[in-house]
Amino acid sequence: MASLQRSNDRYPTGSRKQQIVETVLRLVAVQGTEAVSVQLIADAIGVTQPAVFRHFPTKEAIWLAVMDWLEERLVAIYSEADDPHEPGLVVLSRMFLDHMKLIERYPALAKLVLSDHLRLQYPSLQARFGKIHKGYSHRLATLIERARNDGATTGQIAGKEAATMFLSLIQGLGFQFAIARLPMNLMTEAERVLAHYLQSITASTGAAKSALRSIDAAKKRRKVAAAV
């Protein structure tokens, strides 16, 4: 079970907001979305409820800030992965692995995305999530179309459909890892699933080998980026 650090240190406004968001993510990972209250957040940080409300006027505003955090991370994944000089499938593979690495580091993300409780309680979160999902799906579809234009994928599947498959696989793995808590090495399983996904959309007769080459290229790039 993850531990929660308490701190009474004074933070600048921006830093305190960031601390609140990160605390919410840790609490969700341990206790789920329904258990998170403003008092629980305040206790975990070591401040009073009014101190939390000075930065976020409502609990809904806190959840919206968490959604902002999620969108920033997803945009960063796409921006860091994309390289116009690399094959689209390599970029797509890097996005998949980076996304799974984010879930491995922040298991709360899977719980947030799959939480009916939050979206029913706060309709604004549903709208916010819809906007994030639409933007990310569009980026994926654009990448897949690029790969198809390069002759790397089959012409039988549209970019939108392949993007839906991509996100469904991520959500499925996230559910198994963070919610069902199945015993698994998330990144190893992610590579296996990614290989099957790439084979399913690859046009060549050597789809399996092509999929593995794309994953290897993506992993090498990730290692180089991590070392910088």
Residue-wise pLDDT tens digits, 55-114: 999 999 999 999 999 999 999 999 998 888 888 889 999 999 999 999 999 999 999 988
Total residue count of the chain as it appears in this document: 228
C-alpha angle 137-70-219 in degrees, rounded to nearest 5: 70
Q: What is the mean pLDDT of the chain?
A: 87
DSSP string, 55-107: T-SSHHHHHHHHHHHHHHHHHHHHHHH--TTS-HHHHHHHHHHHHHHHHHH-T
* Helix (H/G/I), strand (E/B), else coil: 153: strand
Mean of pLDDT values over 115-135: 90
CATH number at residue 214: 1.10.357.10
Tokens 């998170």, residue located: 36
94 in Cβ contact with 218 (< 8 Å): yes
Comparing C-alpha atoms, which of 187, 194, 203, 207 is closest to residue 165? Answer: 194
Q: How far apart are CA 201 and CA 208, in angstroms?
A: 11
Q: Are residues 114 and 44 in the same domain?
A: no
Q: Are residues 204 and 176 in the same domain?
A: yes
Q: Which two tokens stand for residue 17?
A: 């907001």
119 in Cβ contact with 126 (< 8 Å): yes
Tens of pLDDT along 148-197? 888 888 767 778 889 999 999 999 999 999 999 999 999 999 999 999 99
Question: Residue 178, CB half-sphere, CA atoms under 13 Å: how many?
Answer: 31
CATH number at residue 51: 1.10.10.60
Q: Are residues 120 and 222 in the same domain?
A: yes
Give the pLDDT score at 1. Answer: 38
Comparing C-alpha atoms, which of 53, 4, 57 is closest to residue 26? Answer: 4
Q: Which residue has the higher pLDDT, 51 or 205?
A: 51
Q: Is the pLDDT of residue 13 over 70?
A: no
134 in Cβ contact with 74 (< 8 Å): no
Name the pTM for this structure: 0.81
Comparing C-alpha atoms, which of 171, 161, 119, 116 is closest to residue 140? Answer: 161
Phi, psi of 11 (to 5 degrees): -120, 145
Give the pLDDT score at 187. Answer: 96
Give the pLDDT score at 6. Answer: 45
Q: Which residue has the higher pLDDT, 227 or 126?
A: 126
Question: Residue 9 — pLDDT band, cuts 50, 70, 90?
Answer: very low
Range of the domain at 192: 66-227
Q: Are residues 103 and 130 in the same domain?
A: yes
Q: How far apart are CA 18 and CA 22, in angstroms?
A: 6
Tokens 């392949």, residue located: 162
Of 57, 74, 91, the domain-final residue: 57
Identity at 25, one-letter amino acid code:
L
